[in-house]
Structure 1
Amino acid sequence: MRVLPSTSGSSVWVVVAEGCNPATDPQDCPERRGELFASNASSSLVQKGFYELPLQAEEILGYSGNGQFAYDQITLGGNGAGGPALNNTMFAGIATKDFLIGTMGLTPWGVNFTDSNNPVPSLLTSLKNAGLVTSNSWGYSAGAFYSPKQTSGSLTFGGYDASRFVPNNLTFTRGPDIARDLLIGIQTITSGTDSLLLEGVVAMIDSTVAQIWLPNEACRRFEEIFGLVWDETAELYLVNDTLHQKLVDEDPSVTFTIGSNTTSSDIINIVLPYGAFDLTADWPLTTNGTARYFPLRRAANASQVVLGRTFLQEAYLIVDYDRNNFSLSRAVFPDTNVPQQLVTILPPSEKGSSHGRLAKGAIIGIGVGTAAIIVALIATFLYLMRRRWLPSAPKIQVTTNAPEETKPELDAQQTPNFSGMGTPVSLNSTPVEAKGSQRFPREMYDPSIIRPEVQGDSRRPVELAECARVVRHELSG
């Protein structure tokens, strides 16, 4: 099954059978949604319950959904690629079309359920507890499939790939709200000599979201400069053939000037060519075939300003939760014959390390590639397959060395079954809401504090490399 890396999530979400309605959805809906998880094919699956998805960051943008949470073994990587397998790993089956393809959370935060005394560890925490990575860190870029090289995305757990970015000295401090911690200051946005941003704004980086969300004033400037027209029905900036050809011929670029806040002197420029914005919308974004669109959305307030996967096509993001910082760099797209430069980020307790390349034998291959999928959400495809695991699931406790805050607790009074394993569950029904008192405030932060830069040595990050399509191993009924 294909999923997208989520820089704000902590668990794996996969689409289940209810995510495709044969009566109303396209015949190839399962393929479009990254393939469906056949819950009735696993006799080892252990259910947890039916909960509202933890979307503290994305609900501000109008995203919502419910999930049937359960435990099973998850193997990262292509069939036969030798990727790591994680036992007793929590995941959620989803049907909501707010997320066409499932996600793989990258944060170390556990998820608290109100009917359990201990938070369930995240995927990153599980990798660290299993000794597969040395630190709570990762490096990610969404790739540039529009480029002549059709460059794949890059995701490395426990380190980063130094061959995929241009290094700089700018380091950001994570924000105090774990739901909105990757905050940066956009100082200017320009296209040639044209200014597209009237004043600086604080933005959140979130790969769970496809588009770039900017203040209304900035969107109006994009409309004026590029001739964009907002479609109220589709709620997208649709691009007709005439405008598309004009933009292709002019080939404009958009430069984001970014600092730790909106006025700092240390900055980095991330340049997006028109190709990064030249996307095609299809079902379920549109109902009447395909349409070109420009992935810009209107932010109604400051909390909605978000840089999604569109931005991360041209940027490389490294997050080090152990040191409470992250970095942002200009992505580069090396030829396929250029070797990777995988660098481990050591935990702060290990000193005297230096950046170094990994020995080839230490690399754990996990399948990832990048493609402009049918709905044109430029995405990193991660392949997961489910196999049999132990029939009994012990209670799992978080052992990460991340800060003590955890995601808000999820509350549920019902635990319906997956379809095919008992009474069918409607994942589109009204969810049992999370307890509001458990939510953390979405605070802004003081980005003036600069933390030490990430360190590395020659030990093992888990790197995501390209692989063939995965065949899911299903158990017979």
Structure 2
Amino acid sequence: MELVLFLQSAALVVTVHATQFDEMSPFQVPIRDVQVLPDIPNSFMKGIAATVGEPPQNIVLLPWPELNNTWIYDQAFCNRGCIDNSRCCQARRGNYYIESKSTTWVNTTNITVAGGASTETESQADTTISKLITSSFGGTDTFTLNTTSDLADFPVGVPTVKWDDGPIMLHAMGMGTNSTILNALFKAGRIGSRVWSIFWGRMWVDDDDAIDGSVVFGGYDEQKTIGRGYTQPLDFSEDSGCWTGMKVLISKIALQDMNANLLEPSVQLTACIVPQHQLLLNGPSSIISNFELTTGMKINNFSWGLHGGAYRYNTSALFDSDLTISLSIGLDIYIPSSQYLVPLVDIDNNGSRVVDKSQQELLIGVVHDSVTTLGRYFLTAAYLMVDLDANTFTLWQAKPTSDSKLVSRYGNTAILNAGESSRLSTGSLAGVVVGAVAGVAILGLGILFCFRRIHRPPRGSQTAMEPPNPTHEANQLSELPVLDTTKSSPTPKHELHGSPAAVSEMSGQTHHHTYEMDGGTLLLG
């Protein structure tokens, strides 16, 4: 009878664990061209397609690692004069969200009351972001990233004043340390960890060479990484000056065919990775000066289009040389010329995207008295994973491919391959668990057999003929180790939406260690 009960329990464990493995596989959403206006065929903006409300309203978002909440623009935002033309604004914003047309919208005074994060960002460097919560109103509605990730009563904020960098424009999906979207997916059992990863893809090339990007929730895409990954702690300290926490040190910016370093001699740049930023790099003006001195190219204008802040050049003066950004951690990121010298791109007054190939834009801008930034075009050649549970981020050289192999991240270990090109079925997972349970069962029965043999009275003794004493046996079995349920679990705690943002333990550290990842396995140093 005991054996039957044991095997029934083992079978239940197999079913539960196999189901949990299958349900908590990572998933990805594409970063691609999305038609914003149904009546304008070429009204494309590149980002993540999502829907809000019931009936669903289509919007386009970008991930913001410094935000905790998700912010969605309504029609009134454009009417307040952010962009003069309403159709142009509607396209550049990734469509309006009209809360009055959603039957599931519930209005609140602000996003915190709606259940959102009470603190918007770890960094206090950007005062406009820190005022978002108090200057906006909020509410809850149904939010959908793909057909399998509906989130009911999801808290969203609706900005009422201009707060973001104009060229970035699209709706903002907060992916910060207390991200409401990651918390909600984790709480719903859709992902097994608060990990996200991003590859921007390749654009402004021939159709055969164009590649959609992606954001992975709950892991990363192993197929889009090359070689070792380099892991560093998220650093929101005031000394770092990096509002996303992803601080790196640039040791060299080299034009490969010219054998020239665009940095000044003996200069290293502290840079902040900002995935939603519209350029490859924003840095000191000396980078532009050295670029023109090396190439002989001369600026003819500045860009006011989708690549605002870029420098504009005539195509007749262009050259073809890849760029290498070398980081002090030992990682070199090779960026093809097609991803940092791109056509002039803008949104016309009717909302359509206009591409002018007679002019090219150098996706390097200039900042004064501010930290250097590495933007979305850096992620055309680098692959980024952010692990909020471990408080780290990891960089690889990116492999530009449409192939995919998603890998779950639990704690500091890659456990489950669940991508399109390599996915264990529920049956296979159950087989693994069955084998483990069978091994434990055999070991347990063996221990129980030996235990009883040891305590069996010798033959011929007077007590050998006495009937077994159930109370005595129960007392002896109770001497086996008992699980102390009062002790805390080693599983890391996660803050769910509505709770105050967690204070980063890495903040303020002066000694940061870098770890290498080889073959998807974290090597702790």
Please classify the TM superposition score into its range, dividing by the shorter chain length. Answer: 0.5 to 0.7
Task: Tell me the CA shift for residue 103 of structure 1.
Answer: 1.7
- Tell me if the contact between 2:303 and 2:310 (Cα under 8 Å) persists in the aligned partners: no
Aligned to 1:173: 233
Alpha-carbon distance in structure 1 between the residues aligned to 2:509 and 2:315: 38
Aligned to 1:257: 326
Q: Output the amino acid matched with 2:309.
A: L
- The TM-score, its normalising length taken from structure 2, stands at 0.59
- Tell me if the contact between 2:72 and 2:172 (Cα under 8 Å) persists in the aligned partners: yes
Task: Tell me the CA shift for residue 448 of structure 1.
Answer: 3.1
Candidates 254, 258, 263, aligned match of 1:197: 263
Task: Tell me the CA shift for residue 258 of structure 1.
Answer: 1.1
Candidates 92, 110, 115, aligned match of 1:32: 92
Aligned to 2:363: 295
Aligned to 1:447: 512
Task: Tell me the CA shift for residue 447 of structure 1.
Answer: 2.8
Alpha-carbon distance in structure 1 between the residues aligned to 2:201 and 2:243: 25
| Count of residue correspondences | 357
Identity across the alignment (%): 18
Q: Deviations over 1:93-129 (max 9, x none)?
A: 236372421121222415xxxxxxxxxxx11111111
Aligned to 1:109: 178
Task: Tell me the CA shift for residue 282 of structure 1.
Answer: 2.6
Give the secondary structure class of the aligned counterpart of 1:171. Answer: strand
The structure, 1 or 2, with the larger RCO (C-alpha pairs under 8 Å, 6+ apart) is 1
Task: Tell me the CA shift for residue 91 of structure 1.
Answer: 1.4
Alpha-carbon distance in structure 2 between the residues aligned to 1:281 and 1:445: 42
Quickly say closer, same or farther: Cα 1:354–1:332, change in 2 above 3 A.
same
Aligned to 1:124: 182
Task: Tell me the CA shift for residue 179 of structure 1.
Answer: 3.6
Q: Output the amino acid matched with 1:276.
A: Y
Aligned to 1:220: 289
Task: Tell me the CA shift for residue 456 of structure 1.
Answer: 7.3
Residue 339 (structure 2) pairs with residue 275 (structure 1): yes
Alpha-carbon distance in structure 2 between the residues aligned to 1:267 and 1:276: 19
Quickly say closer, same or farther: Cα 1:163–1:57, change in 2 above 3 A.
same
Quickly say closer, same or farther: Cα 1:157–1:445, change in 2 above 3 A.
farther
Alpha-carbon distance in structure 2 between the residues aligned to 1:171 and 1:19: 39
- Tell me if the contact between 2:68 and 2:121 (Cα under 8 Å) persists in the aligned partners: no
Quickly say closer, same or farther: Cα 1:62–1:50, change in 2 above 3 A.
closer
Deviates more, 1:64-73 or 1:100-109: 64-73
Aligned to 2:157: 92
Q: Deviations over 1:180-239 (max 9, x none)?
A: 311111111010211101211111111132122112322322333342527579573442
- Tell me if the contact between 2:70 and 2:174 (Cα under 8 Å) persists in the aligned partners: yes
Structure 1 gap ranges (5+): 111-121, 261-265, 363-398, 409-437, 458-477
- Tell me if the contact between 1:108 and 1:136 (Cα under 8 Å) persists in the aligned partners: no
Residue 494 (structure 2) pairs with residue 400 (structure 1): yes
Q: Deviations over 1:448-475 (max 9, x none)?
A: 3548889679xxxxxxxxxxxxxxxxxx
Alpha-carbon distance in structure 2 between the residues aligned to 1:327 and 1:67: 33
Quickly say closer, same or farther: Cα 1:169–1:160, change in 2 above 3 A.
closer
Aligned to 1:76: 145
Give the secondary structure class of the aligned counterpart of 2:291. Answer: helix
Q: Deviations over 1:377-403 (max 9, x none)?
A: xxxxxxxxxxxxxxxxxxxxxx7259x
1:308-387 aligned within 5 A: 308-334=375-401, 336=402, 338=403, 340-347=404-411, 354=415, 356-358=417-419, 359=423
Alpha-carbon distance in structure 2 between the residues aligned to 1:17 and 1:295: 30
Quickly say closer, same or farther: Cα 1:233–1:218, change in 2 above 3 A.
closer
Task: Tell me the CA shift for residue 444 of structure 1.
Answer: 7.5
Q: Output the amino acid matched with 2:154.
A: T
- Tell me if the contact between 2:228 and 2:516 (Cα under 8 Å) persists in the aligned partners: no
Structure 2 gap ranges (5+): 1-58, 112-117, 427-492
1:392-471 aligned within 5 A: 400=494, 407=501, 445-450=510-515
Residue 299 (structure 2) pairs with residue 229 (structure 1): yes
Quickly say closer, same or farther: Cα 1:58–1:238, change in 2 above 3 A.
farther
Task: Tell me the CA shift for residue 317 of structure 1.
Answer: 0.3
Q: Deviations over 1:287-326 (max 9, x none)?
A: xx9774322221223x421101121121110111222222
Quickly say closer, same or farther: Cα 1:341–1:42, change in 2 above 3 A.
same
Alpha-carbon distance in structure 2 between the residues aligned to 1:21 and 1:184: 39
Alpha-carbon distance in structure 1 between the residues aligned to 2:97 and 2:385: 31
Quickly say closer, same or farther: Cα 1:135–1:53, change in 2 above 3 A.
closer
Task: Tell me the CA shift for residue 6 of structure 1.
Answer: 1.8
- The TM-score, its normalising length taken from structure 1, stands at 0.64
Alpha-carbon distance in structure 2 between the residues aligned to 1:7 and 1:140: 11
Give the secondary structure class of the aligned counterpart of 2:244. Answer: coil
Quickly say closer, same or farther: Cα 1:162–1:222, change in 2 above 3 A.
same
Q: Deviations over 1:313-350 (max 9, x none)?
A: 2111011122222211122222x5x4x211100135xx
Task: Tell me the CA shift for residue 442 of structure 1.
Answer: 8.6
- Tell me if the contact between 1:276 and 1:313 (Cα under 8 Å) persists in the aligned partners: no
CA RMSD of aligned residues (A): 4.0
Quickly say closer, same or farther: Cα 1:133–1:311, change in 2 above 3 A.
same
Task: Tell me the CA shift for residue 53 of structure 1.
Answer: 10
Give the secondary structure class of the aligned counterpart of 1:31. Answer: helix
Alpha-carbon distance in structure 1 between the residues aligned to 2:301 and 2:411: 48
Alpha-carbon distance in structure 1 between the residues aligned to 2:122 and 2:389: 22
Task: Tell me the CA shift for residue 49 of structure 1.
Answer: 3.1
Give the secondary structure class of the aligned counterpart of 1:330. Answer: strand
Q: Output the amino acid matched with 1:220.
A: S
Give the secondary structure class of the aligned counterpart of 2:315. Answer: helix
Larger helix percent: 2
Alpha-carbon distance in structure 1 between the residues aligned to 2:203 and 2:124: 25
Aligned to 2:489: none
Aligned to 1:474: none
